[in-house]
């Protein structure tokens, strides 16, 4: 790491691991937390701009019991990955897109946000300080989790007086238990977010995730890997799964719900649309009814954590639809190109990757 980064490292309240105390076992990584060495922290007061952050040892943070994030959910997060290439370089994938999305979420929740440059620089510093945790190619990736939260103390319902931008990271492997054949349950009681442009479904608000837990817990108890939510206005159209966007393929045409303020504008979603379009596929972004979904040939989900994963079946009430899976699917073709670009194996014609 460049000396500037090491100079920046300070001790946190609770120290992380010692550089040499663990033999890293890269086999069988799932989407679980492995504590790493350092995290990046930057604070600013309400009405001010973020200026300078620093790396500290990974560990617990101290928060007031009346912090805005704890009491009123004033917080958003991001997710992006660092990929190790065959020749041992480390790449990021479109990190400025995460920075821009964080800014939109921050504006919606009345928070200051780091500039794109500050965000990307902080991500790079975090990766470099935790370089030994970037798994070898083919074993996994280093997942980075930027958080932006109101950390000032207040009792009233009002924007926090202090904000913290923090990035921690963890090596991860596959997200869903099965890669290549996910079984999904359609949730017909609860909704993920309020439909339409007035809600917060379209930002990565921390409050969008816990409301999916009842549905996920029930679905998992019944053998499903994920849950698909329907729009709250009509209950007829598909939106997204608990942590990923969804796509359908019918007669070689691709469909995905449009970005309407309710679903998350996924960076993987957007990249897959571009890759498919470049390959000559037509991609329709529009409302998709449950019936239409049930009659598709193929279905897959996309997300930073999920990457691209084929859906084997969808169950809606008593009806189950099955889809094509396996190496011949369009989803597999798109996944290979995407992962190829991310890991430097496929030419990056769009300058999506950034070397750390
Ligand atoms: C990601 O894909 O990075 C996400 O944010 C999903 C997360 C909730 C696991």
Whether the pLDDT of residue 5 is over 90: the answer is no
Mean pLDDT of 119-133: 97
Burial of 281 (0-12, 13-18, 19+ CB in 10 A): middle
Helix H or strand E encompassing 164: strand 162-172
Rounded Cα distance, 307 and 293, in Å: 21
DSSP assignments along 200-255, one per residue: STTTTBGGGTGGGHHHHHHHHHTT-SEEEEE-TTTS-BEEEESSSEEEEEETTEEE
The answer to whether the CB of 114 falls within 8 A of the CB of 165 is yes
212 alpha carbon – ligand 1 mean position (Å): 13
Residue with tokens 């560990």, as numbered in its chain = 59
Angle at which helices 267-278 and 95-108 cross, to 10°: 130
The rounded distance, in Å, linking the Cα atoms of 217 and 162 is 35
Q: What is the mean pLDDT of the chain?
A: 92
Render pLDDT for 297-351 as a digit per residue (tens, 0 to 9).
999 999 999 999 999 999 999 999 999 999 999 999 999 999 999 999 999 999 9
Cα angle 319, 222, 240 (rounded to 5 degrees) comes to 65
Instruction: Kindly state if the Cβ of 12 falls inside 6 Å of ligand 1.
Output: no
- Assess whether pLDDT exceeds 70 at residue 30: yes
Two tokens at 120?
Answer: 């990307």
Q: Which of 81, 124, 185, 204 is catalytic?
A: 204
The lowest-confidence range among 88-97, 103-112, 173-182 is 173-182
Please count the residues of the chain. Answer: 356
How far apart (Å, rounded) are the C-alpha atoms in residues 80 and 140?
Answer: 13
For the chain, how many helices (H) and strands (E)?
8, 17
**How many CB atoms sit inside 10 A of residue 20's CB?**
7
> Of 8, 117, 121, 102, whose CA–CA distance to 54 is shortest?
8
- pLDDT for position 4: 35
pLDDT for position 279: 97
Alpha helices in the chain (DSSP H): 3-8, 68-72, 95-108, 116-129, 213-221, 267-278, 290-294, 330-342
How far does residue 205's CA lie from ligand 1's centre (Å)? Answer: 11
pLDDT at 131 over 60: yes
Q: Residue 93, Cβ neighbours under 10 Å: how many?
A: 24
Confidence of residue 28 (pLDDT cuts 50, 70, 90): confident
pLDDT tens digits for range 47-61: 999 999 999 999 999
Mean of the pLDDT values across residues 268-280? Answer: 98
Check whether 39 has a pLDDT greater than 70: yes
Residue 253's pLDDT band (cuts 50, 70, 90)? very high
Q: Is 52 a catalytic residue?
A: no
Record the pTM: 0.92
266 ligand 1 Cβ < 6 A: no
């Amino acid at each position: 790491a460049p000396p500037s980064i090491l100079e920046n490292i300070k001790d946190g309240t609770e120290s992380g691991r010692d550089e040499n105390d663990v033999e890293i076992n890269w086999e069988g990584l799932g989407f679980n937390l492995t504590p790493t060495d350092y995290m990046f922290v930057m604070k600013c007061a309400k009405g001010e701009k973020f200026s300078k952050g620093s790396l500290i040892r990974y560990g617990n943070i101290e928060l007031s019991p009346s912090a805005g994030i704890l009491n009123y959910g004033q917080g958003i997060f991001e997710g992006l990955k660092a990929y190790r290439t065959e020749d041992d370089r480390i790449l990021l994938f479109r990190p400025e897109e995460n920075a821009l999305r964080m800014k939109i979420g921050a504006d919606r929740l009345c928070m200051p946000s780091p500039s794109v440059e500050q965000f990307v620089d902080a991500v790079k510093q975090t990766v470099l300080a935790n370089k030994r945790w970037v798994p070898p190619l083919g074993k996994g990736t280093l997942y980075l989790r930027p958080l932006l939260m109101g950390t000032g103390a207040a009792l009233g319902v009002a924007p926090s007086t202090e904000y913290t931008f923090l990035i921690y990271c963890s090596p991860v492997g596959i997200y869903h238990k099965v890669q290549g054949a996910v079984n999904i349950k359609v949730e017909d009681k609860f909704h993920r977010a309020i439909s339409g442009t007035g809600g917060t479904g379209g930002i990565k608000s921390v409050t969008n995730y816990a409301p999916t837990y009842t549905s996920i817990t029930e679905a998992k108890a019944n053998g499903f890997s994920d849950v698909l939510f329907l729009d709250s206005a009509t209950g007829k159209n598909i939106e997204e799964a608990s942590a990923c966007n969804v796509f359908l393929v019918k007669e070689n045409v691709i469909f995905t719900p449009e970005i309407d303020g309710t679903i998350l504008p996924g960076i993987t979603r957007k990249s897959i649309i571009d890759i498919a379009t470049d390959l000559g596929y037509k991609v329709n972004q529009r409302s998709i009814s449950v019936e239409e979904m049930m009659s598709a040939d193929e279905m897959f989900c996309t997300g930073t954590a999920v990457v691209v994963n084929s859906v084997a079946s969808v169950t809606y009430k008593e009806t189950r639809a099955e889809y094509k899976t396996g190496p011949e699917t369009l989803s597999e073709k798109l996944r290979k190109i995407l992962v190829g670009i991310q890991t430097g194996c496929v030419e990056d014609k769009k300058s999506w990757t950034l070397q750390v």
